[in-house]
Amino acid sequence: MVDIQNDFVPGGALAVKEGGQIVPIVNRLQSHFDLVVATQDWHPANHGSFAANHPSKKPGHVIELDGLPQILWPVHCVQNTVGAAFVPALEMKQVAQVFQKGTDPRIDSYSSFFDNGHRKSTGLGDFLKARRVKDVFIAGLTTDYCVKFSALDAIQLGFKTHVIEEACRGVNLHEGDVANAIEEMRQAGVEIVKSVETLIR
Ligand SMILES: [Zn+2]
């Protein structure tokens, strides 16, 4: 479950259209899986991905951050704020572990597995491998950023990777971003699961 946090659903700082709609779907899915983990975008207030931390920059601008191109975002998912908390309706009883990301102010972390420079691991890959996980099914926010980069890394790490399209929503900062993300994942070998019904019938 990727970043199903208050700031990414309507009312939040970086709200994704229809982001909240995935919550009942994800809740329904959980009992059909042997192992459930969650990731949490968890930034310090001085994080370099926040436009507010760069004079005269606005959300959507692209800068260079510690050698990497970085899209600037509104301030979101600041550690220990309501915005960073999981959506209250999200069922957490079955969650074996939460993996936090984006904690280093100098680098962003879209993927659930590594930061954007692949400099540090979150520990999720080793956690899954230690439990002999073969297949990874991904749901959450957002299709065109954190879900996409998580799926691409999961493939790289050798997991059979599935993205449950109906249980994800995207930012679509530019028209077509979500469709392009789906296509990019497919090309990389990710199975796109259109409907939840095919998983739990
Ligand atoms: Zn973030």
Query: H or E segment at 187?
Result: helix 177-187
CA of 178 to the centre of ligand 1 (A): 18
What percent of the chain shows pLDDT beyond 70? Answer: 100
Question: pTM for the whole thing?
Answer: 0.96
Burial of 168 (0-12, 13-18, 19+ CB in 10 A): buried
User: Band of the pLDDT at 113, cuts 50, 70, 90?
Assistant: very high
pLDDT at 24: 97
φ, ψ for residue 31, nearest 5 deg: -70, -10
CA of 76 to the centre of ligand 1 (A): 6
pLDDT in tens, 38-58: 999 999 999 999 999 999 999
**Rounded Cα–Cα distance for residues 174 and 82 (Å):** 28
Q: What is the mean pLDDT of residues 174-194?
A: 97
**Strand, coil or helix: 135:** strand
Distance from CA of residue 164 to its chain's centroid?
13
- Indicate which residues carry an active-site annotation: 3, 101, 146
Give residue-wise pLDDT tens across range 2-39. 999 999 999 999 999 999 999 999 999 999 999 999 99
What's the 197 CA to ligand 1 centre distance in angstroms?
31
Q: Are strands 160-169 and 191-193 parallel, antiparallel or unpaired?
A: parallel
Q: Ligand 1 centroid vs 201 CA: distance in angstroms?
A: 35
Residue 199's pLDDT is: 84
Q: What's the distance, CA 178 to chain centroid? A: 13
Euclidean distance between CA atoms 92 and 97, whole angstroms: 10
Band (200; pLDDT cuts 50, 70, 90)? confident
| C-alpha–C-alpha distance, residues 121 and 141, integer Å | 20
Alpha carbons 122 and 64: distance in angstroms, whole number: 23
Residue 162 is predicted with a pLDDT of 98
In this structure, are residues 47 and 53 in contact, taking their beta carbons and an 8 Å threshold?
yes
End-to-end CA distance of the chain: 21
Q: pLDDT tens, 91-101?
A: 999 999 999 99
Q: Which residues in 17-42 are b (16+ Cβ under 10 Å) and which e?
A: eebbebbeebbebbeeeeebbbbbbb
Query: Which of 174, 1, 12 is closest to 90 using CA atoms?
Result: 1
